[in-house]
Amino acid sequence: MDDIVAEARNRLERLGKGDDLRKGDVRKVSSELYKTLEDKSTDNVFALCDRLLDEREWPLGILAYDWAYRVRRQYDDKTFAIFERWLKDYVTGWQDCDDFCTHAFGELLAQNNELFTYVIEWTRDPNFCVRRASAVVLIYPIRRNRYEDIDPFLISDALMHDSHHLVLQGYGWMLKVLSQVERDSVHDYLLKNKSIMPRTAFRYALEKFDEETRARLMKD
């Protein structure tokens, strides 16, 4: 296991450090290194992901979340507890949150909408990353129209006046994506809440509407 981590770090260091390291290059390393794994069972891959995440280095985190997504056909009833632990223990910024939630964690929710019950609880978490995740994790199932038993508006209601701007952006982004599949529902929601919704979230949610609708909704 440590050999994989060492190999990942060596390959990444050849590409650069800090600002010189590009996310696209990291993902290429992730793909190449994943192919070398002989055991691609979730037990082994998730153990490797844990080891990568323990290093608390953003490039290794990208590898972990990418590998977790690559075994998505093996997700089972134990996966949620693992993913939720990663979210609460390792995600420390919006980039980590979005990498994880818009792929691996979002796919898990798309496979099992009943998990939404637990996602609602994240809206009350003291960690802003977890609160942001409650909205961002819905983006994947919404985009793939696999959210039949999920009510995105419950999340935006719960996060409506959140104290952190990245949480406001997160649920605004989720509503923007939802507006592409439920235009009228989102329009009515924004119209109803325009007087109380923070401008940060409101503007994000409006982005995919036509210019005339945006102007009308923004008007006091």
Cβ atoms of 86 and 53 closer than 8 Å? yes
Task: Please state the pTM of the whole predicted model.
Answer: 0.94
Q: Which residue has the tokens 């996966």?
A: 79
In angstroms, rounded to a whole number, what is the distance separating the alpha carbons of residues 213 and 64? 41
2-15 vs 23-35: helix axis angle to the nearest 10? Answer: 140
What confidence tens digit (pLDDT) does each residue in 176-207 have? 999 999 999 999 999 999 999 999 999 999 99
Cβ atoms of 186 and 175 closer than 8 Å? yes
**DSSP secondary-structure letter at 18?**
G
Q: Is the pLDDT of residue 16 over 80?
A: no
The three-state secondary structure class of 124 is: coil
Longest Cα separation, the chain: 60
pLDDT of residue 106: 98
Residue 154 tokens read as: 């419950």
Burial of 105 (0-12, 13-18, 19+ CB in 10 A): buried
Domains detected in the chain: 1-74 (no CATH), 78-220 (1.25.10.90)
What confidence tens digit (pLDDT) does each residue in 139-168 have? 999 999 999 999 999 999 999 999 999 999
Residue 20 tokens read as: 């010189």
What confidence tens digit (pLDDT) does each residue in 36-59 have? 999 999 999 999 999 999 999 999
In this prediction, residue 15 has a pLDDT band, given cuts at 50, 70 and 90, of: confident
> Average of pLDDT values for 102-122?
98
pLDDT of residue 23: 85
Burial of 43 (0-12, 13-18, 19+ CB in 10 A): exposed
C-beta neighbour count of 32 within 10 angstroms = 10
